[in-house]
Chain A
Amino acid sequence: MSGPIQTNVETLRVRAGELFDAMEWPTPSEEEWRRTDLGRFPFDDYQVDDERSASTTILEDWSGRDLFPESEFAAAARFEAGVCVGASGLDSLGESGAILALSNEDVRDLGDELPGPGANAFEKMLETTLGRIDNRVEAWHYRGELHGAVLYVPAGVEIATPVLLDFSEKGQMALTAPHVFVILESGASVQLIVSLTTSESDRLLCNSGIHASVAEGARLELLVIDDLGSETTHFAHRRATVDRDARFTQFEAHLGGSLVKSRSEAELAGAGSEAYLNGVFFGDNGAHLDIRSVQTHLAPHTTSRSLYKGVVAGSARTIYQGLIEIDEEATQADAYLTNNNLVLDDGARSDSIPSLKIRTNEVKCSHGSTTGRIDQAALFYLMSRGFTRDAAQSTIIEGYFEDVAKRGGPLAIASVMGAITRRLAGRAA
């Protein structure tokens, strides 16, 4: 395919709008929404903030060091209330041929700026995205005013230091749609960190999306950290398509929020591709977290792993739905899924639904799930060394999460563990 991009973001928006109009809100009769009943959810109460500036000028240099003091980033950008307020590294990134487009205009022009294969990949991604919308919430996201970034890395380019995108959403009864598209051409590699925060005083609905296309032999490491206030509702739609011999590693953290429904899907479309999905989730007070991971094997000799650990406390409810789907064509697939859940309090509830749909016999596929409380023996041991019960609990829970966080590297540990420690301290207080 070559030539001007037919489908651009605007087209996606319009066609998603048509889908939105044609669909109804999901109901519990659909398996994926069975445990998150949106029947009484006040969708109409959330509005896009009109006062949001449509400014496309990026004002300041923002290096990301206020969030990560020890780190160097190849490029960084910060969004506040849907507007990019600072960025850095765009030019040096450009020297390697990589592009980080942050404004709506930049994204619209991207079609013309991208070299052939990149443009094709972007167009294909937009088409795939559109074709996969299977519920009204997702359609709602794409018809909305997206703000965010497109990260493009050309063939063979390996970005040595990470790229950081920080979204600080704000508002009262506001609707916000942050989005990131990532396009890696063959042999490219980059680590991308996306952080999403809201505060206790924000009441908003964040409908977010991250889509990645990882071409042949490329490697993408994605860290997504959601640290949300207790009046935030978050719907997350995440997908990565992984081509031949490419590798995708994701670490996602869902901390806080009052209602969170998230789906992360890794599609192993090319032979020899690999996907690793790691996640942690922490529900407290009356939170409702419904986290879904999907490993889809479409080609031979593919590998995937999921490890999701959750903690549920107070009167919160967590649901983990994990699916491994292996197509007839995906012979020699090697897939594994693990879900562990810690239940801290008697009013808390944890649901675990790991599923397998296997359509060929030449596979190695299994999953495991455990649900229980903190190991009493470990608790006793720490207390016998002078830890208070709360301190002992916190220490154990931190270790429990760090086991997953370390798969996201030192930056994952740095960002997530801090947030978790704060939340645990808040409980004890």
Chain B
Amino acid sequence: MSFEYLKFGKEEKDFIEKIEEISGQNVYSCYQCGKCSAGCAFSGSMDKTVNQLIHLIQLGQKRKVLDSNTQWVCASCLTCSVRCPREIDVAALMEAVREYQFREEPEKIVISKIPKEAYDKLPNIALVSNFRKKTG
């Protein structure tokens, strides 16, 4: 069994504080039951499950959180938020991580690179919500 030493200093604490401020949630409410990941429709496409990501937020591991794809695969269907036994708005935490990331890199998708045919084909509801979620 191998161990990993985690740093827990000012930078880590600041990260946790910022995520809590943006989401309005207390990340330490989470006791890792895993119900969010069990019910998540997208767990299969995520490199870290939702509760794993929350655990990393609790530990302030900013780089690992921002490097995972979990927050981007989340489609804000809110199933986790309505089921959380600790009444955490889990989807709001995912949104907070996205918002945090937009400060470093404001565009997850480049709108000008979307092919023109897509605009004719896709419903406007899909485009508007995609731009809202994936650009800062």
A and B together in one complex: no
